[in-house]
Amino acid sequence: MTVMTDHPHMPTEDFEFIARIAAREREGARLEFIDGVLRSKAMPDGDHGMIVQWLTRICMQYRPELWLHPGQGIKAQEYRAGRAIPDAVLAPSSAFAGQGDWVDPEPILMAVEVTSWDSDTHRRDHVEKPRAYAETGIPVYLLIDRAKCEVSVYSQPNGRRYESVHIVPYGSDVVLPEPVGIKLQTEPLKDWVR
């Protein structure tokens, strides 16, 4: 019989130590610590990078006082004991100055994930990340799902989950609610699918 506990597999400090070694020893190694479990995050491919570039341009056009920080490690989940690496986060340009590898998520207005082609992308991006970002209090979570050709906008975090989820197919317009306040025309996403 298996007994489930709420205790992490290791302390957060041990994870950070392992993540530093992995990043130093293996180019492209990106580790996350969600729900107390160590996970590896896939390296982004060229189309993944194009999507983040596309979103960066839109954010710069509509919210020049903010910056879309790619690959910034954040302290996530309840009590900030988890560690996540969103594909990008929208925050003031100098929000993370002077902080280390894992920054305080307080100034983040939106976390962004673009799905990868690895086997656990559904569990990670559709289940674990929305819960972790809602627990963290990040106002908006934008998920760009390349396999389903859909854009999901999660908003109104209540400390456990997002109360609002709006899903549209590629090609439709979607509004990123306040405090982001940007309308996305998602037609260009059709160019970056397999």
β pairing state of 37-40 and 31-34: antiparallel
Residue 7, pLDDT score:
56
If you search the block for the tokens 């790619």, which residue do you land on?
70
Q: Are 101 and 86 in contact (CB under 8 A)?
A: no
Q: Are 36 and 7 in contact (CB under 8 A)?
A: yes
39 dihedral zone (left: phi>0; alpha: psi -120 to 50; beta): beta
Residue 4, pLDDT score:
43
Sites in the chain below the pLDDT cut of 50: 1-5
3-state secondary structure the chain: CCCCCCCCCCCHHHHHHHHHHHHHHCCCCCEEEECCEEEECCCCCHHHHHHHHHHHHHHHHHCCCEEEEECCEEEECHHHCEEECCCEEEEECCCCCCCCCEECCCCCCEEEEECCCCCCHHHHHHHHHHHHHHHHCCCEEEEEECCCCEEEEEEEECCCCEEEEEEEECCCEEEECCCCCEEEECHHHHHHCC
Instruction: Quick: pLDDT tens for 149-190.
Output: 999 999 999 999 999 999 999 999 999 999 999 999 999 999
Distance CA 34, CA 166 (A): 24
Residue 2, pLDDT score:
42
Residue 5, pLDDT score:
44
Instruction: Quick: pLDDT tens for 100-115.
Output: 889 999 999 999 999 9
Domain ranges of the chain: 43-192
Distance CA 80, CA 70 (A): 20
Distance CA 48, CA 146 (A): 9
Q: Are 110 and 128 in contact (CB under 8 A)?
A: no
Residue 50, pLDDT score:
96
CATH homologous superfamily, domain 43-192: tt1808, chain A (3.90.1570.10)
Residue 31, pLDDT score:
74
Residue 56, Cβ neighbours under 10 Å: how many? 17
